Amino acid sequence: MVSIVKDKRPVNLDIGTMRLPITAWASITHRASGVFLFVGTAILMWMLDASLKSPESFAALQECLSGPVAKLVIWAVVSGLIYHSLAGIKHLIMDFGIGETMEGGVMGARIVFALSVVLILIAGAWIW
């Protein structure tokens, strides 16, 4: 009985049936970037390890990071970090009660997306 009751718990909002506003996209990309970073942390830890072990492994890492695939991977992780951080900062600002209206949310999401694109491009230019 208990499980039957649980299975029929109501869902108030079925977001699968709607066109998502920009705020929803900002939210889901923040989530996706967080999960991506959790995996990407392995790469960052590996780089930190290699960079500190010995002068040889530092040089080997530099060599490895000069390859196009490695650069792409680093750019992806850094991009995830940039977006997640900016959206995270927006979260913190909104936690202080700033921009909590619908207009504020839309504006905040636009600012975060725009700033992310700029910073991600700058990071790309720096990596290459």
Residues that bind ligand HEM (CB under 6 A): 30-31, 34-35, 37-38, 41, 84-85, 88-89, 91-92
How does DSSP classify residue 66?
Answer: T
- Establish if 48 lies at the interface with other proteins (CB under 8 A): yes
Q: What is the DSSP string of 52-104?
A: HH-HHHHHHHHHHHTSHHHHHHHHHHHHHHHHHHHHHHHHHHHHTTTT-SHHH
Which residues make up the interface to other proteins (CB under 8 A)? 3, 6-7, 9, 11, 31, 34-35, 38, 41-42, 45, 48-49, 51-52, 55, 58-59, 81, 85, 88-89, 91-92, 95, 126
